Amino acid sequence: MTLKVKICGLQDEAALAAAVEGGAAYIGFVFFPPSRNFITVATARMLAALAPKHIMKTGLFVDARDDEVRAVLDAVPLDLLQLHGQETPERIAAIRAVTGLPVMKALRLKSPEHFAAIPAYAAVADRLLFDSRIGDEPSGGPINWSSLKGRAFGKPWMLAGGLTAENVAEAVALSGATSVDVSSGVEDATGRKSPAKIREFLAVATGLG
């Protein structure tokens, strides 16, 4: 099975083109103003219109209100909502009901006790994303990849946190991930995506099937 890749935090046409041409399965737009990867609704609408239909367009929100999510959805044709804050399982279910869209919940997975929260979220989310941080926390670096190996969570899951072209092969081998998410690992400066690094990451990752 070919590894599926999400390039998150896109903000311009050059980065989008690199993601599309490199074979990304998902692209991500960050609708969280404190983030260095924040994108305006107008720019996201323009980029989404340029993206092929087979690529899943993901909107990242952090503890957003219903009206904030609706304002984005009224303008941007998203396929998946990524909730990356302190949202409870009840909030996940509510957003799914309000929007009618599938939801991927990001969960911090930096220590063994974090695994205890997974079942409650797996019961209501369509997908899970395991990261080393949530919200506007600074990057926590890679999680313990081997802690995921052989585990079943009842829902598809994606690996994030500190991934680069140099370590993605090891991360996939140790974790058993079939989907990965990268953002800072394809930047050439804080908050600025590098088309060359996006192409490099995708060339490595999509060859790991």
CATH value at residue 106: 3.20.20.70
Domain span at residue 116 reads 4-205
* Length, in residues, of the chain: 209
pLDDT for 206 beyond 70 = yes
| Long-range contacts of the stretch 100-106 (C-beta < 8 A, 24+) | 101/73, 102/126, 102/127, 103/127, 104/58, 104/80, 104/128, 104/129, 104/158, 105/129, 106/82, 106/130, 106/131, 106/134, 106/160
* pLDDT tier for residue 109 given thresholds of 50, 70 and 90: confident
pLDDT at 110: 79
Compare 112 and 176 and report the one with higher pLDDT. 176
Record the pTM.
Answer: 0.94
Distance between CA atoms of 143 and 205, rounded to whole angstroms? 18
Mean residue pLDDT of the chain comes to 94
Q: What pLDDT, in 10s, does the model give residues 42-81?
A: 999 999 999 999 999 999 999 999 999 999 999 999 999 9
Query: Alpha-carbon distance 190 to 195, whole Å?
Result: 14
Structural domains in the chain (count): 1
Which DSSP string do the residues of 30-92 spell out, in sequence order? Answer: E--TTSTTB--HHHHHHHHHHS-TTSEEEEEESS--HHHHHHHHTTS--SEEEE-SS--HHHH
Q: What is the pLDDT of residue 142?
A: 77
